[in-house]
């Protein structure tokens, strides 16, 4: 048995798999802001699974930048109290088995590349527009090599000689800070969505230039709400992208809230093969 997890800045999802082909119905709960409480949450799930069968290993995606040796969070805007805590060793000593840590968005991207909207493509770019903006490049069904991580949401865009990160311009948090409204409460025909679509297209255009994917998969709450229209973004990217002969296929993510669990399951196979 292997435990798979997706520890996001807002919610955590935990499940287990016996065959690395499918996983059981996940447990979903709010992510504790305190590391000690988060560790206890994971350990409690381990205890539950151990009562069924021996846990041989764990793969967990965590919100933030993972250390080069994949042992802990270096920086996490949403989980600052988890930073520099030795999550890998804390879990390894508890299960006496392998523990694999990865960025949560990278695992979602891997899940979409293997099981979701990117299935059948060898070069996949995944970008999530949600509370924040993140992304990952998947090469031949594996998370591409990187030093620290992929951070397309922190690319800078100049507006009237002032620099903003893409995340400030298009994320749910950024929209709320600029409008004073929860994006969920903003009507689909509000002019703000035209502006968000424009800035999203600029940022995604840059990401396409940097990563050169065959398909761009878009996920996250802002995208999945349908207030930000993918067809409109695609049209804008088509107008912006003049260097490449064509734009990549652009698709909406298909695995809803569980892409990270699919990705964690697939990631374990990398280390077992």
How many other β-carbons are positioned within 10 Å of the β-carbon of residue 103? Answer: 27
The owner of tokens 């590349």 is 113
Q: What percent of the chain is predicted at pLDDT more than 90?
A: 93
Q: Is the pLDDT at 65 greater than 90, yes or no?
A: yes
- The structure's pTM equals 0.95
- Both tokens of 42, joined, read 């994971």
Residue 212 pLDDT > 80, yes or no? yes
Distances (CA, A) of 60 to 63, 69, 251, 254, 262: 10, 15, 26, 20, 11
Q: Where are the beta strands (DSSP E) in the chain?
A: 2-7, 11-17, 27-30, 57-62, 65-66, 73-75, 98-103, 123-129, 133-139, 142-143, 156-159, 162-165, 215-219, 249-252
Distances (CA, A) of 221 to 98, 115, 177: 32, 19, 17
What number of other Cβ atoms are within 10 A of residue 85's Cβ?
A: 17
Residue 114 has a pLDDT of 98
- CA dihedral 130→199→117→185, nearest 10 degrees, is 40
Specify the residue for token string 């207030």. 227
Set out the domains of the chain in order of their start, with CATH numbers.
Answer: 2-103+257-272 (3.30.420.40), 117-254 (3.30.420.40)
**pLDDT classification of 220: cutoffs 50, 70, 90:** very high
pLDDT digits (tens, 9 = 90+) for 100-159: 999 999 999 999 999 999 999 999 999 999 989 999 999 999 999 988 889 999 999 999
Residue 45: count other Cβ atoms within 10 Å of its Cβ. Answer: 20
Of the candidates 58, 122, 121, the residue with the CA atom closest to the CA atom of residue 93: 58
Instruction: Round the average pLDDT of the chain to a whole number and report it.
Output: 96
């Amino acid at each position: 048995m292997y435990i798979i997890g997706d520890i996001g800045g807002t919610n955590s999802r935990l499940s287990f798999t016996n065959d690395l082909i499918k996983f059981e119905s996940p447990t979903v709960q709010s992510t504790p802001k305190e590391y000690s409480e988060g560790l206890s949450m994971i350990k409690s799930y381990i205890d539950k699974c151990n009562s069924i069968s021996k846990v041989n290993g764990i793969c967990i995606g965590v919100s933030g930048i993972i250390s080069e040796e994949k042992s802990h969070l270096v920086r996490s805007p949403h989980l600052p109290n988890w930073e520099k805590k030795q999550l890998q060793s804390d879990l390894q000593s508890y299960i006496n088995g392998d523990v694999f840590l990865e960025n949560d968005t990278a695992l979602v991207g891997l899940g979409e590349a293997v099981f979701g909207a990117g299935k059948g493509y060898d070069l996949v770019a995944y970008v999530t527009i949600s509370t924040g903006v993140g992304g990952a490049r998947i090469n031949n069904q594996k998370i591409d090599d990187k030093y620290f991580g992929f951070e397309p949401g922190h690319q800078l865009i100049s507006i009237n000689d002032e620099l903003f990160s893409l995340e400030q311009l298009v994320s749910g948090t950024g929209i709320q800070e600029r409008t004073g409204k929860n994006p969920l409460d903003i009507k689909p025909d509000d002019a703000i969505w035209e502006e968000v679509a424009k800035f999203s297209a600029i940022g995604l255009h840059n990401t396409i230039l940097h990563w050169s994917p065959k398909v761009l998969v878009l996920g996250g709450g802002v995208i999945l709400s349908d207030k930000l229209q993918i067809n409109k973004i695609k049209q804008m990217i088509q107008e912006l992208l003049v260097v490449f002969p064509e734009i990549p296929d652009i698709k909406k993510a298909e695995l809803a809230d569980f892409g990270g669990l699919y990705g964690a399951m697939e990631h374990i196979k990398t280390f077992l093969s």
